Structure 1
Amino acid sequence: MHRLLAAVLAAMACASVAQAQEPPPAEAGQSFTLDQALELAGAVSPSLEAASADVRAAEAGRRVAGLRPNPSVTVEAENVAGSGPYRGIDSVEATTSLTLPIELGGKRSARIAVANARSDRAAIQAAIAQADLRLSVVRAYAEAAAAERRLVTARDQVRIATEALRAAQVRVQAGRASPIEVQRADVARVNAETALAREERAVEVARYSLSRIVGQPITGPLDAGWFGQVPAGYGPLRPIESAGTLALAAADADLAIADAGVRLARSQRVPDLTVGAGARRFEQTNDTAAIFSLSIPLPLFNNGRAALSQASAERQRAEAQRRVTALDVDQAIARAQADAANAATSAATASGPALAAAEEAARIARIGYREGKFGQLDLLDAERTLAETRAAAIDALLSYHIAQAQLERLTARAPTTQGENP
């Protein structure tokens, strides 16, 4: 367990150092990659800082659990300030004693077992925080990249709509078309410019959201190559292996804490002893005598049975929750695999054959419209199909990257914990 905590603390320390050193901003003109975003986010993430504090607190709790009870020093004075011969301090009897509690029933080892289980849980929670941060960064980066790609498409649509308007004006001036075609083309251009303004604002919002996660403004363009990468083909779903995942490891750690709690509650039922030794001094004779004491509590009102019942019930709940988590994780991984496969197929189709066919159809429609072979409605339909196909391709790519990131989050492996015997 110490090696696990040392590794987690080292990772958190690196993040804290990076945070203190203010990571350098990305140079203008250079592509801002996903790896850079992940590195910067890890340096400034408050969730990782909180997880690091939890790990340190758990390790401190482990040291506290191993401490033994403190001894006590007692000083007593008898036969003081009375009446008759006990007036004043002539008959005082002073007693000084040292008492030491002795824990029985394995209480100390049970406390250490609980602390060890909580330390393992804190380390797993730190790994969960890192995995959640990665998912958030990938999601924000993919959304920003998708917004930038939509902006490029919107600019291209404005250019196409402007060219279509000029072509319509030429046809009308030549007397080969009705003036209504100019109005239609102008409406298409206005709509394209409106969409462009909307996409520009969307890019600003997406880049701002990403900059908040990474802790600094994003000056360069995002990695368009990463966003456009899609596997060539997704085969059948892989076997579900939920064992060792973060969610299941967290449930196992909760069950281990509950098990240790039952052991601790059982040990609390054994009464502790308090032994003492001291010396008593008699003022009148100036003599001293040794004193020994033994104290044993009587479990008349609280014999620990209720606490043991409570701990046993909590252990049953943790065990049942562990089975529920196993089912949920299996189902979630299966759904994530299907979502990623479907998104990859849609992205490959929309970005490949479907997009190529739509671009070719739009190109032919533009040429045919300029030469008078196609009507304006044919051109507008081809352009609308191209715009919808481009939008579908971007949406499919975004869905794929988010689904793949979610799948990686669900299947992320938990750090190996090594229990420590007290």
Structure 2
Amino acid sequence: MRIERPAKARVCWRWLTGVLVCAEVWWGGTLLRAQPAGGQDGGDTPGELVLTLEACVRRAVANHPQLQAARARVATAQAARRQARLWPNPELELASEDGPLNRGSFAEESKQTVGVAQTIPFPGKKRLESAMARLELTRAEHQWRAVLLSVIREVKLARVRVLGWKAVLEATRESVKVAEALSAAVHERFRAGAVGEVDVLRAETLLEETRLELEEARIRWREALQELALLVGAPVRDKLDVVGRLREEPDPALVGRQPAEWLPHHPLVVAGRAEVKRAEVAVTRSSREAWRDVTLRVRGGRAGPADDVVAEVGLTLPLPVWDRGRYRMTEALARREESQAALAAGQRELLLTWEREKLRLEGTAAQVRRLRREVLPRTEKAVDLLRAGYQAGKFDLLVLLDAERAAAEARRAHARALLEMNLAHVELEALMDAEMPELFWEDGSSETKPRPETVTPGQVEVER
């Protein structure tokens, strides 16, 4: 059954519906105008994110999970250091004893006392434990520095790969254009009967090889772009604007530095030395395990029906009968030997990495210089001369195209060598940059921060 509304009700309903529609359109337009250009999620549109080196580092160290874990380990070591200074808590003792069970009232005739028991650590134990906790904190701080340098290294390598493979990609595109022109010219000469089928196959093979190299360069560039985007916490996109240029020459100060200048200050080495010193202190601490902590008791109360006032003083001293601390000493000695071997292995690995990357840097730098100073000028000059000769009718088009192909190959080789040189340069920077610039601190502040404490072999300050 259909119910007809009155005319005035229909008019009011239509008017109210129109008002609601207008309000919805106005509100929706306001929301759209208030949204950022990237869409509803407020993200950046492709191509709007400009990444300099400083921006990449700041974004990467802001919320990197490895840095968060390292900071948590530092906070754990700080709490453990404060805990190591504290004595055990005293114990409240309530006793009711020496009361008869077969006669009278136990509560009236027993001795009732209340007291406190305090465990007193053996002299020197808390001092050694505090020193061990301090060295553990030093190790955690320098491990955090090592993680920070590792994150910066990853960001720099990803950025260099993006810039380097982009240059290789552009050079390979030029090679593809020259190979396509050369293949078209050979096909035209083949139709005219000037060249044979072998020349056609050779030109087509060269073109396909160049196209394969172009696809490889495009894949490597996209992989580097994706890696950098993941490191800096940006959406994966192809239009990230990575600002900067690759280094044309290595830093002479970096190449000239010797291991004696940077190895003792490397965070991993300092952390290893702190661990060795902590193991040495642990050996001294384990030698005192045979001397147990004593417990002092003081109690007072009433005894018997006469409510005599009583006081008691007691001392508990564990006897080292079964456990004399021998195995703890053996464990501490083994851990000291392990820490010493780990320190030596870490220093050796750093030295091997330094030698390998230095040789790589020197070799690629020599290739870059030779390509830039000798090969590229000669190929460009040969192309100019052959182009002038072709325009004058002295040379064939195939000769000019072959010279252009050689010039394109030289530019691509230069781009690859420049990429390898910059990668090796970043690896050496990661080894030698023990003093980090201000912009590399993870909180983004600009003030100069003090360097964490350095532990030298055979020297430790024991807190008292």
Question: TM-score, length-normalised on structure 2?
Answer: 0.75
**Identity of matched residues, %:** 24
Q: Secondary structure at the match of 1:291?
A: strand
- Give the equivalent residue in structure 1 for 2:463: 421
Q: Give deviations 1:298-348, integer Å, cap 9, x for gaps.
A: 111112233223323322343344344444434433333232222222222
Q: CA, structure 1 residues 335+305, in 2 after alignment: closer, same or farther (shift >3 Å)?
A: same
Q: Distance in 2 between matches of 1:125 and 1:76?
A: 51
Q: Which runs of 5+ in 2 are unaligned?
A: 1-40, 436-450, 455-460
Q: CA, structure 1 residues 105+190, in 2 after alignment: closer, same or farther (shift >3 Å)?
A: same
Q: Distance in 2 between matches of 1:411 and 1:23?
A: 40
Residue 378 of structure 2 is aligned to residue 354 of structure 1: no
Match of 1:119 among 137, 157, 174: 137
Q: Secondary structure at the match of 1:49?
A: helix
Q: CA, structure 1 residues 185+322, in 2 after alignment: closer, same or farther (shift >3 Å)?
A: closer
Contact 1:40 1:214 in 2 (8 A): yes
Q: CA, structure 1 residues 334+365, in 2 after alignment: closer, same or farther (shift >3 Å)?
A: same
Contact 1:117 1:260 in 2 (8 A): no
- Give the equivalent residue in structure 2 for 1:177: 194
Contact 1:234 1:345 in 2 (8 A): no
State the shift of 1:278 in Å.
Answer: 0.7
- Give the equivalent residue in structure 2 for 1:289: 310
- Give the equivalent residue in structure 2 for 1:7: none
Q: Distance in 1 between matches of 2:336 and 2:348?
A: 19
Residue 130 of structure 2 is aligned to residue 109 of structure 1: no
Residue 285 of structure 2 is aligned to residue 264 of structure 1: yes
Q: Which moved more, 1:378-387 or 1:409-418?
A: 378-387
Contact 1:142 1:398 in 2 (8 A): yes
1:306-385 mapped onto 2 (5 Å cutoff)? 306-362=327-383, 364=385, 371=393, 373-374=395-396, 376=398, 378=399, 382=403, 385=406
Residue 266 of structure 2 is aligned to residue 245 of structure 1: yes
Letter in 2 for 1:239: Q
Q: Give deviations 1:369-407, integer Å, cap 9, x for gaps.
A: 78572474x567545544443333222222211211111
Contact 1:26 1:220 in 2 (8 A): no
Q: Distance in 1 between matches of 2:276 and 2:246?
A: 41
Q: Distance in 2 between matches of 1:122 and 1:235?
A: 28
Match of 1:389 among 382, 399, 410: 410
- Give the equivalent residue in structure 2 for 1:39: 58
Contact 1:105 1:267 in 2 (8 A): no
Match of 1:93 among 106, 111, 115: 111
Q: CA RMSD in A?
A: 3.4
- Give the equivalent residue in structure 2 for 1:139: 157
- Give the equivalent residue in structure 2 for 1:16: none
- Give the equivalent residue in structure 2 for 1:3: none
Q: Give deviations 1:52-80, integer Å, cap 9, x for gaps.
A: 11111111111000111111111122256
Q: Secondary structure at the match of 1:226?
A: coil
Q: CA, structure 1 residues 349+365, in 2 after alignment: closer, same or farther (shift >3 Å)?
A: same
Q: Secondary structure at the match of 1:243?
A: helix
1:268-283 mapped onto 2 (5 Å cutoff)? 268-283=289-304
Question: TM-score, length-normalised on structure 1?
Answer: 0.81
Q: Which runs of 5+ in 1 are unaligned?
A: 1-21
Q: Distance in 1 between matches of 2:48 and 2:394?
A: 44
- Give the equivalent residue in structure 2 for 1:208: 226
- Give the equivalent residue in structure 1 for 2:178: 160
Letter in 2 for 1:85: R
Q: CA, structure 1 residues 420+355, in 2 after alignment: closer, same or farther (shift >3 Å)?
A: farther
Q: Larger Rg: 1 or 2?
A: 2
Contact 1:110 1:267 in 2 (8 A): no
Q: Which moved more, 1:59-68 or 1:235-244?
A: 235-244
Q: CA, structure 1 residues 30+51, in 2 after alignment: closer, same or farther (shift >3 Å)?
A: closer
Q: Distance in 2 between matches of 1:89 and 1:105?
A: 41
